Structure 1
Amino acid sequence: LVRSAEGAHLTLTDGRRVLDLTGGVGVLNHGHNHPRILAARERFARDKRMEVHKTYFSPYLAALGHNLAEILPGDLNMAFLPNSGAEAVEGAVKLAYKFHNGKRNTVLRADCAFHGKLLGSGGLTGQAQFGFPTIPGVDTFRYDDLESVRRAVAAHKGDVYALLIEPFSASTIQECSEEFLRGLREICDREKIVLIFDEIYTGWGKTGSLFHFMRYPGLIPDVLTTSKSFGGGKSSISAYVAREPVFRKAYDNLGDALMNSTSTTYYGFGEECATALEAVNIAVEDDYPARARALGAVLQPGLERLAKQYPDEIGRIAGAGALWGVFIEGGPRILDLVAKLAPGGMARDPRFKTKLVTCAVINALYQDHDIYTYYTLNGNNPLIIGPSLVTEPEEAERVIDALDDVLSRGLTGLVARFIKQKVSSQW
Structure 2
Amino acid sequence: MTEADRKGFDLNGLLAERAAERYDLHARHLNHQLPRMLHTIGFDKVYERAEGAYFWDDEGNDYLDMLAGFGVMGVGRHHPVVRRALHDALDASLADLTRFDCQPLPGLLAEKLLGHAPHLDRVFFGNSGTEAVETALKFARYATGRPRIVYCGHAFHGLTTGALSVNGEDGFRAGFDPLLPDTPIALGDLAALERELRRGDVAALIVEPIQGKGVHAPPPGFLRAAQELLHRHKALLIADEVQTGLGRTGDFFAYQHEDGVEPDLVCVAKALSGGYVPVGATLGKDWIFKKVYSSMDRVLVHSASFGSNALAMAAGLATLSVLEDEELVANARRTGDLLRTRLAALTDRYELLKEVRGRGLMIGIEFGRPKSLGLRSRWTMLQAARKGLFAQMVVVPLLQRHRILTQVSGDHLEVIKLIPPLVIGEPEVERFLAAFTAVMDDAHNGGGLMWDFGRTLVKQAVAQR
Deviations 1:136-173 (A, max 9, x none): 3201111012122112223xx21111210111112221
Measure the CA separation in 2 of the matches of 1:245 and 1:292: 34
Whether contact under 8 Å (1:207, 1:320) holds in the other structure is yes
Q: Which amino acid aligns with 1:297?
A: D
Aligned twin of 1:253: 295
Distance 1:280 1:162, change over 3 A: same
Aligned twin of 2:354: 315
Aligned twin of 2:262: 220
Aligned twin of 1:152: 196
Q: 1:37 aligns with which of 82, 101, 119?
A: 82
3-state SS of paired residue (1:175): coil
Aligned twin of 2:453: 418
Distance 1:231 1:335, change over 3 A: farther
Whether contact under 8 Å (2:368, 2:414) holds in the other structure is no
Are residue 66 (structure 1) and residue 111 (structure 2) matched? yes
Compute the displacement of 1:381 (Å): 4.0
Whether contact under 8 Å (1:113, 1:124) holds in the other structure is yes
Q: 1:367 aligns with which of 384, 400, 405?
A: 400
Q: Which amino acid aligns with 1:111?
A: G
Whether contact under 8 Å (1:357, 1:415) holds in the other structure is no
Measure the CA separation in 2 of the matches of 1:195 and 1:216: 14
Deviations 1:166-201 (A, max 9, x none): 111122211123411111111111111021000000
Aligned twin of 2:157: 115
Distance 1:419 1:140, change over 3 A: closer
Of 134-143 and 77-86, deviating more is 134-143
Distance 1:143 1:309, change over 3 A: same
* Count of residue correspondences: 411
Whether contact under 8 Å (1:73, 1:220) holds in the other structure is no
Measure the CA separation in 2 of the matches of 1:181 and 1:274: 33
Are residue 294 (structure 1) and residue 334 (structure 2) matched? yes
Aligned twin of 2:440: 407
| Higher relative contact order, chain-length normalized (CA < 8 Å, sep 6+) | 1
Q: 2:306 aligns with which of 261, 266, 285?
A: 266
**Structure 2 gaps, min length 5:** 1-45
Q: Which amino acid aligns with 1:328?
A: F
Q: 2:424 aligns with which of 380, 391, 397?
A: 391
Query: TM-score with structure 1 length normalisation?
Result: 0.91
Whether contact under 8 Å (2:150, 2:185) holds in the other structure is yes
Compute the displacement of 1:366 (Å): 1.4
Q: Which amino acid aligns with 1:189?
A: H
Distance 1:210 1:341, change over 3 A: closer
Deviations 1:219-268 (A, max 9, x none): 211000000001111120000000112221232322222x1x20111111
Whether contact under 8 Å (1:298, 1:397) holds in the other structure is no
Match runs of 1:81-100 below 5 Å:
81-100=125-144
Measure the CA separation in 1 of the matches of 2:404 and 2:227: 41
The RMSD of aligned alpha carbons is: 2.1
Measure the CA separation in 1 of the matches of 2:276 and 2:375: 41
Compute the displacement of 1:341 (Å): 7.8
Aligned twin of 2:206: 164
3-state SS of paired residue (1:169): coil
Are residue 176 (structure 1) and residue 218 (structure 2) matched? yes
Measure the CA separation in 2 of the matches of 1:365 and 1:420: 18
Aligned twin of 1:281: 321
Are residue 304 (structure 1) and residue 348 (structure 2) matched? no
Distance 1:315 1:339, change over 3 A: closer
Measure the CA separation in 2 of the matches of 1:425 and 1:252: 56
Compute the displacement of 1:216 (Å): 2.7
Q: 2:68 aligns with which of 14, 20, 23?
A: 23
Are residue 325 (structure 1) and residue 364 (structure 2) matched? yes
Compute the displacement of 1:422 (Å): 7.2
Measure the CA separation in 2 of the matches of 1:110 and 1:403: 32
Measure the CA separation in 2 of the matches of 1:136 and 1:13: 46
Are residue 206 (structure 1) and residue 248 (structure 2) matched? yes
Aligned twin of 1:358: 391
Whether contact under 8 Å (1:360, 1:414) holds in the other structure is no
Query: TM-score with structure 2 length normalisation?
Result: 0.83
Whether contact under 8 Å (2:200, 2:233) holds in the other structure is yes
Measure the CA separation in 2 of the matches of 1:297 and 1:263: 40
